[in-house]
Structure 1
Amino acid sequence: MADQEGATAVAEPDALSAPAPARDLPWVTLVLNDPVNLMSYVEFVFREYFGYPRAKARKLMLEVHEKGRSRVSTGTREQMETDVQAMHGYGLWAECRPADDRGDQT
């Protein structure tokens, strides 16, 4: 601020164009292939927990089986952590990460 009466402070251009905080970026939940669970069970979990229709649940399950992982949900970090915990509760391998991370591509 200036010492002169009536002077106003002006924000630096860099401060105005700063990127959004990381917490505002979307996150994803990835389900990973594992050697234990049957494909039909993975499809069931996707339908039961996420409420996906049979066709979408099957498509995601096949991505897990054939590609080793599938992005099953997108949202806030907190919601993705909740989804990962739910997948662990069903016995599936899952992780969450920022959506712009290269590893979330299926």
Structure 2
Amino acid sequence: MSDTQSATLEATSLDVPWNVVVHDDPVNLMDYVTWVFVKVFGYSQIRATKLMMEVHQAGRSIVWTGAKERAELYTQQLQGYQLKTSMERSSE
């Protein structure tokens, strides 16, 4: 593989959207998780509640999808609020 091909593959992989995933945990109260989503993302109370219920019922929820750097920032912010959070490459 040439340097140009390698650089192109690397640039393309950086463009792949990333998901911020919040996982269910036995510690945080549902109202607190909803409040964090409103605070961090600026989501409406309705959207934040829907995502929180998905975390609670399904065990996880993709709460945001986009650029890797922003996903890293959101992941760190959510972890700062003690939410169990991870990142994964989006399949889209």
TM-score by length of 2: 0.86
- Aligned positions of 1:1-106 closer than 5 A: 21-100=12-91
Which protein has the bigger helix share? Answer: 2
Give the secondary structure class of the aligned counterpart of 1:21: helix
Give the AA of the match of 1:34: D
Deviation at 1:21, TM superposition (A): 1.6
- Displaced runs of 4 or more, over 6 A: none
When Rg is computed on C-alpha atoms for both structures, the one with the higher figure is: 1
Gaps of 5+ in 2: none
Question: Percent of aligned pairs with the same residue?
Answer: 44
Q: 1: CA distance between counterparts of 2:38 and 2:28?
A: 15
CA RMSD of aligned residues (A): 1.7
Number of positions where the alignment pairs a residue of Structure 1 with one of Structure 2: 85
TM-score by length of 1: 0.75
* Structure with higher RCO (Cα < 8 A, 6+ apart): 2
Gaps of 5+ in 1: 1-14, 102-106
Q: 2: CA distance between counterparts of 1:54 and 1:78?
A: 26
